[in-house]
């Protein structure tokens, strides 16, 4: 349980990142807790697929910076907005989408990191479409995989690329499971291919997570 000072620091942190994220406090709080857990018991890097202005990444990096654990924080985003949804994503996604949706410059990430006085030495911002950037990177061990990629294809690519590197006990967060049909479809396809039980745990009406058991 957090002390009063810890609770006040967390409140301050969430307030600072508010202009840099669309995540509700419940989801920021979950990421905060997951990094605390990783700092005490999990090996591997932090990977975020879909980082937008960097608010959720800043929360994770801030908690990491308060520990003695050294690990990389990988942030993947096109910074050109979301890719166009496919038929699998459904009518809701296709109706909402327009070219440049959630487009933002990567300099926002550097801005919020500076405001929080977080060193960016171990932060790797990978700019470009997932189909272009994922094949160029290799991450040996992942403690936390945060997927905030909205639609079917980018969520599917994120799971296929990075789940094999998630360590036993590592945590995979699906930020858009409760919102987007394509995210759910990508996860269900992934779960069937695993040929093992994967239990999703609800964070709020939108976000869910699961642990890699082995």
The per-residue DSSP string of 40-107 comes to HH--SEEEEE--TTSHHHHHHHHHHHTSS----EEEEE-SS-PPPP-GGGHHHHHHH--TTTT---TH
Return d(Cα 72, Cα 214) in angstroms, integer: 22
* pTM of model > 0.85: yes
Query: Average pLDDT of 201-213?
Result: 96
Average pLDDT over the chain, rounded to whole?
Answer: 95
Q: Which carries the bigger pLDDT value, residue 197 or residue 31?
A: 31
pLDDT level of residue 2 (50, 70, 90 thresholds): low
Return d(Cα 128, Cα 196) in angstroms, integer: 33
Distances (CA, A) of 116 to 38, 39, 57, 111: 21, 19, 12, 9
CB 172 within 8 A of CB 71: no
Written as six digits, the tokens of 126 are 């990978």
Q: What pLDDT digit, counting tens, does each position of 92-113 carry?
A: 999 999 999 999 999 999 999 9
In which residue are the tokens 């990421």 written? 31
Question: Percent of the chain beyond pLDDT 90?
Answer: 92
Return d(Cα 183, Cα 82) in angstroms, integer: 13
Using the predicted structure, report yes or no on whether residue 49 has a pLDDT greater than 70: yes
Query: Average pLDDT of 163-177?
Result: 97
Residues in the chain: 214
Using the predicted structure, report yes or no on whether residue 1 has a pLDDT greater than 70: no
pLDDT at 214: 77
Written as six digits, the tokens of 21 are 């994220």
Using the predicted structure, report yes or no on whether residue 64 has a pLDDT greater than 60: yes
Return d(Cα 153, Cα 144) in angstroms, integer: 20
């Amino acid at each position: 349980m957090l002390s009063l000072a810890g609770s006040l620091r967390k409140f301050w942190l969430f307030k600072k990142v508010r202009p840099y994220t669309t995540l509700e406090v419940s989801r920021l709080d979950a990421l905060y807790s997951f990094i605390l857990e990783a700092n005490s018991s999990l090996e591997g890097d932090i990977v975020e697929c879909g980082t937008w202005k960097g608010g959720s990444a800043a929360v994770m990096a801030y908690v990491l910076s308060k520990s003695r654990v050294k690990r990389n924080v990988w942030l993947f985003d096109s910074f050109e907005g979301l890719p166009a949804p496919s038929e699998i994503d459904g009518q809701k996604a296709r109706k909402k989408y327009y070219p440049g949706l959630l487009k933002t410059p990567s300099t926002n990430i550097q801005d919020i990191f500076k405001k929080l006085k977080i060193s960016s030495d171990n932060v790797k911002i990978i700019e470009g479409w997932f189909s272009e950037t994922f094949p160029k990177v290799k991450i040996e061990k992942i403690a936390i995989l945060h997927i905030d990629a909205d639609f079917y294809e980018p969520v599917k690519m994120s799971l296929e690329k990075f789940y094999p590197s998630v360590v036993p006990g590592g945590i995979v967060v699906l930020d858009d499971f409760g919102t987007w049909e394509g995210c759910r479809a990508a996860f269900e396809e992934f779960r069937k291919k695993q040929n093992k039980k994967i239990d999703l745990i609800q964070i709020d009406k939108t976000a869910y997570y699961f642990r890699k058991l082995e």
